[in-house]
Structure 1
Amino acid sequence: MITAAIPTNERFRLQALKSLNILDTEYEKEFDDITSLATFICGTEIALISLIDKDRQWFKSKQGLKVSETHRDFSFCAHAILDPENPLIVNDARKDERFRDNPFTQKDKIGIFYAGIPLVDKNGFALGTLCVIDSKPKELSERQLESLKSLANQVTILFELNKKNNDLEKFQRKLKRRNESLKDFARVISHDLKMPLANIISTTDLLKIILNGKLDKESMEYFDYIKTSSFSMSNYISDVLGHYESESLINNKPETFYLNDFLKEIVALLSIKPDFTIHYPENNPILECNRLALKQIFFNLIGNSIKYNDKDQIVICIEANEDEKFYYFKITDNGMGIPKDEIDTIFDLFTTANMVDRNGNKGNGIGLSTVKKLVEKLNGTINVTSQEKVQTTFDFCIQKPI
């Protein structure tokens, strides 16, 4: 018996193999289907997907063999990976000096015939083989060999897909940890900055009272500027916190409620002034959905319809429909509208249309991003159409509980 030589690129080959994170994983149907098909096509007793580790060969899939790994010194596949571009065919191992004294040939008498196709990754490293084995001498037809090569190609594709999925899962876990860190940061900011801002606002009012009549009009206006800026900063902090905490709303269980009663609660929270008219859905449907998440969506959309409205009389119309799977909502206002060149980015975080609200303040680009995130988490979609200086319509849907 001749032990296979170590490939010249062994260190890098092993790194490539380890990067797949596939060694010692559970058996998977996708790989087992391939080895099952290999035994059928080639008419052999055994088929293996064998990966050559440092001191062993480990089988990701096996047909007709009980053991899960063997020592590398006895491996036919260790010889096969030495020539990644060509299959290794051993018609009768008893006549081949490399294998005639191999335990699988002499003692177990299962390794008489062997055909192995190297499994080569995109960087050219032979990681192992797809091989078929039989206890009798055998020859494969050209068609059988080509089919075996095709199956081996499918194995390498599966390896790459598995690696991409693993990398994606790692990235998602990392992103989740980072998102949690941002949430924690937002909470700290909310706690540590909002209280000082409240102190600034109250101190500003106190100073105005104390200094009333002692400063000129322009100087007194600076206090109003400080107060307005402090309120804007406080609202900005609240919106950032709301954005990062919005995902927690998704975990709430569905509730059943009348839509119009629900909308009137939101209008009451917004402290609507008399110059406001809202038309509720005539059908007043009963909804069964995540009430708190939907509340956050409507609160932002109705709030925006009021803030970005330059008409003397604000008018908002809300429509609702449904089918077997989704609830559909439409909110139309007679406000400022959105410029055409900015409508495609209106849902991007921290992106705002180049306009100020009816009080002269510019938005922070958080509210609509939060709305879009919540809608998508509820397995829905949201779209906007707008005619500048005339109206804006938001259409969105959310999936019903399954």
Structure 2
Amino acid sequence: MIPPGRPVDEASRQAALAAYRILDTPREAAYDDLVAIATAICDVPMAFVSLVDRDRQWFKAKVGLEDTETSRDLSFCGHALLAPDTLMVVDDTLADPRFHDHPMVTGPPHVRFYAGAPLRVGGGSALGAFCVIDRRPRQLAPAQLAALEALSRQATRLLELHRISGELSLQLEERDWYEQQLLHYQQELEMENADLAEQSTTDPLTGLLNRRAFSHLLDEAIEMARSESTPLSLAIVDIDHFKSINDNHGHGEGDRVLQALGAYLRGQASARGRVARLGGEEFVQLMSGCASDAAVAECERLRTDVTAMDLGIPVTVSIGTASLEAGDDPSSLLGRADAALYDAKRNGRNRVATR
């Protein structure tokens, strides 16, 4: 293990940290919301807002860790401070000489992946880092890395709000000026919150809704279908032999196929805003107002169109459909569509099955 060194601006960095008066303050929902968004966007079990003091790192917000602080010599974020303008990413800690024998790698919480975006303040110093951690080696997609940097900026603005609020209490005679500054920061926060909320419901590779967002959409669609007594169907679309595409042509080619299929599904007039990527090579499409026979016919057309797509490699899909029945809830409706999908796979793939 290699403990983190001290930044060249350590003295001014410590002075800036002290000026913010943030260390050892109580938990706040605004910071907790940011780490919750980070875990959703990056699909990780742990995320922290870490502030690095002289001999310790202290967590203003955290998910997945009980400790409120650790020794600075054990901090991953201490290393991130050494390059405050750069997002620090460690794909596999066991392959990094700084961390391969680190006690938090070899023991709980078994850190295998780390990404940290420094919390840079006005003078350029980094007070700490906004980081995400996983227990398995991995890489983040470009959109996830961009979101992590956005969350770091958001946390920094919260720190600025905290500092300004403290100064307000000491300088009430300048209240009007400070209120304008607070309003300015609040407006920026609201704008970035809107962007982050969208990212937390979007699959970064395809731009479609993710599983989390689709769950809410399906709840609403079922409620509307029942209130209006209209049919509702859904289809789960799975790319046949997708592992072979990755193995034979590379993961970059596999990603290109996923993006092409996602773009095709998004372009269907009947499915705008109602298509999601469930994960891996599985997509799901809601078909409001569509009964079982019509859903099967629509999916047969979809299957034929995919087979005819010019992707440079042959691609086919298997599709399972299900239509809303009395007593169905989102789980049972999805479950029947999933069972139909496996019927299609067992019967030779490149076909549509229904349950």
- TM-score using structure 2 length: 0.48
Structure of greater relative contact order (alpha carbons < 8 Å, 6+ residues apart): 2
